[in-house]
Homo-oligomer: A and B are copies of this chain.
């Protein structure tokens, strides 16, 4: 087995320890005589796996007791519809802060279910920063305020945790798409009414969607919200109203335990800071490479960068691949390169990337 350094934005690299555990247990989990993929979701074995995953996640993120953890399906894109279907209630409007491709997509989908007010947008400046909360133009009575706290494509991460209470709007729930940086940094869950995340970046396999929702927000679904996606129904059935993505929950649980062995979220955050600093410091010092994102809002997880001479892009990607560094091509809407360096990417992987980039620049610069 020869493993590459995989900089995919998602589905993304998983901890090798987790994959080894999963492979070893594939045919027989803890002497159950069957693999996890083959277990009834109602059986005691799988119920214990799901409960442990939920408990570990609750501990890792210090989720307060008045929040429910839901394991759902559909990814963040389906949630873009499921959230207004569940939260608009009898309100007329929802507020969206648009900081990149993902929050843009979210507000567009929400318009199918109600009125959307763009409270702030950095589109005009090319999605390279996060607008200060003091400048957000909130509606008088929005159902919620939506933010994407890490924009996977644009590489923009909120440098602050939005605090609606401090803005005198404690009654408005904050809804945060944290798909690409959840579990990468310490957060205060109580600042949010709802947090959601597709699993395929920092949690586990694609096909699992995590929702953390404050209990008072349950029970507001519109009549045409599919029952399987009504947060209240999902919560009441402990994420088993419909058959959940059992194997993905199991892998997520292995990732949560791995993260606890790493020392938890604060410990992995320190490593993520060091990884990001190494790469950004190198980019800042380089005349060969560059990055466009405001230094105050640079994502620790997704680092878009470019070669100043873009005619060298193909050679860069080909030589990187030959050196065992893969999935570095940037999203087509941004161009250039992107290195996604989630929790599972060790410092050694970023060091290997920087060493390659330095060598490539020396040879081609």
Q: Give Cα distance in the complex from A3 to B31, angstroms.
A: 9
Contact of A39 among B8, B43, B85, B251 (CB under 8 A): B8
Q: Which of A12-20, A268-276, A294-302 is the interface stretch?
A: A12-20
Nearest B residue (CB) for A13: B38
Q: Are B27 and A206 in contact (CB under 8 A)?
A: no
Q: At the interface with chain B, which of A51-59, A224-232, A284-292?
A: A224-232
A74-B74, A77-B227, A223-B112 known; A28 vs B2 contact (CB < 8 Å): yes
Which of B9, B80, B243 makes the CB contact (< 8 A) with A206? B243
Which residues of A (56-103) have their CB < 8 Å from a CB of B?
73-78, 80-82, 85
Given A244-B207, A246-B205, A35 contacting B19 (CB threshold 8 A):
yes
Chain B CB count within 10 A is highest, among A207, A246, A248, A251, for A207
- Complex contact B39–A11 (CB within 8 A): yes
Contact call A78/B229, Cβ cutoff below 8 A: yes
Specify which of B6, B75, B247 is in contact with A33 (CB 8 Å cutoff): B6
Cβ 8 A contact of A74, one of B39, B41, B73: B73
CB of A320 within 8 Å of the partner chain: no
Query: Could you tell me the distance between the alpha carbons of A39 and B20 in the complex, rounded to whole angstroms?
Result: 17
A242 at the interface (CB under 8 A from B): yes
The size bracket of the interface on A is 35 or more
Chain B nearest CB, measured from A50 CB (Å): 12
| CB-based contact A207/B40 at 8 Å | no
Within the complex, the shortest CB–CB distance from A226 to chain B, in Å, comes to 3
A16 (CB) vs chain B CBs: closest residue: B27
Q: A22 touches which one: B26, B109, B224, B228 (CB < 8 A)?
A: B26
Give the residue of B77, B113, B205 whose beta carbon is less than 8 angstroms from that of A224: B113
Q: Which of A213-247 contact B (CB under 8 A)?
A: 223-224, 226-229, 241-247
Is A330 positioned at the interface, with any CB of B under 8 Å from its CB? no
Contact: B33 with A14, CB < 8 Å?
no
Chain B residue nearest to A243 in the complex (CB): B206
Measured between beta carbons, the chain B residues less than 8 angstroms from A19 are: 26-27, 35, 37
A312 within 8 A of B: no
Chain B residues within an 8 Å CB radius of A207: 73, 207-208, 243-248
CB < 8 Å neighbour of A109 from B9, B227, B248: B227
In Å, the complex CA distance between A227 and B75 comes to 12
Q: How far is the CA of A180 from the CA of B343 in the complex (A)?
A: 39
In whole angstroms, what is the CA distance A113 to B227 when docked?
Answer: 12
Q: Are A3 and B23 in contact (CB under 8 A)?
A: no
Cβ of A227 to closest chain B Cβ, rounded Å: 6
A198 in the interface, Cβ–Cβ < 8 Å?
A: yes
What would 14 A/B residue contacts be, using CB atoms closer than 8 Å? A1-B27, A10-B40, A12-B40, A19-B37, A37-B204, A74-B74, A80-B227, A112-B224, A113-B224, A198-B243, A206-B243, A206-B246, A207-B207, A224-B224
For the complex of A and B, the 7 pairs showing the least CB-CB separation, nearest first, are A207-B245, A4-B33, A81-B226, A77-B242, A23-B26, A78-B228, A73-B73
